[in-house]
Amino acid sequence: MKNTIIYIDESGTLPDKADRLVVVAAVSTANPDNLFAPKRSVKHLPESKNISEVKFYRSGDKTKIKFLKTLARQNLEIFVLCVEKEGRSVADTPENFALLCWLLLEECQLFHHEKIGEVIFDRHFHQTKDRVKFDHTLNQLLRKSLTFTHEDSQKISQINTADMVAGSYLWYKKGKADKFYKIIKNLIVSEKTVTWRQIKVRFWNKKLNRTGARAHPG
């Protein structure tokens, strides 16, 4: 039964050279209504009263901790991909973002097999043509026909769980703070760190294998 919903968001940006790392996180669950609990848990906190949605970089420490502790009590799985850009500015295109999500969703597929019903992304691209290109590229890479939707996290608040996970993991990898990561680490099924170059090499190897071409020896 395809009853697992996956929420995906990222922290860090591809084009900005100042962002050494980019983290893409997925939160999967068969009970998406349970993901409302973390947001409800922080509503009474003074620092959260005037914010429309709970985002990692807009939240104070008390909100982060309360939200993540509530999240850690839910029945869910976390998957994380950390990309080291090695000083590069990487174009924020549908194709490049699909490469990141490809490696992340491969891990989700290994765990959930055929149970994935829908993958919901925080709306990364605002133009329809870019979202269509992203969906097509990602399904080609996965060699699957998964259902992708792109939503505003103010309307689908479960997406904020992936944002909070991505932000927590990015701070952990940067050495800024590990206390948020420690709250959720027992829920992490997969955490991988790769370089942008490694991603591109794997993509080209996949492309060559598909076409039956051979890499030039020189």
Share of the chain above pLDDT 90, in %: 78
Under a CB-based contact definition with an 8 Å cutoff, are residues 51 and 58 in contact? yes
Band the pLDDT of 205: cuts 50, 70, 90. Answer: confident
Expressed in angstroms, the distance from the first to the final Cα of the chain is 49
- Rounded CA-CA distance 133/136 in Å is 5
Alpha-carbon dihedral sign for residues 29, 33, 38, 39: positive
Report the predicted TM-score, pTM, of the whole model to 2 decimal places: 0.92
Tens digits of per-residue pLDDT, 146-202? Answer: 999 999 998 898 999 999 999 999 999 999 999 999 999 999 999 999 999 999 999
Q: What is the pLDDT of residue 215?
A: 45
Name the average pLDDT for the chain. Answer: 91
Walk me through the domains of the chain, giving residue ranges and CATH numbers. Answer: 4-211 (3.30.420.10)
- Cβ neighbours of residue 68 under 8 Å, at least 6 residues apart? 38, 164, 168, 180, 183, 184
Tens digits of per-residue pLDDT, 49-90? Answer: 556 688 999 899 999 999 999 999 999 999 999 999 999 999
Under a CB-based contact definition with an 8 Å cutoff, are residues 54 and 164 in contact? yes
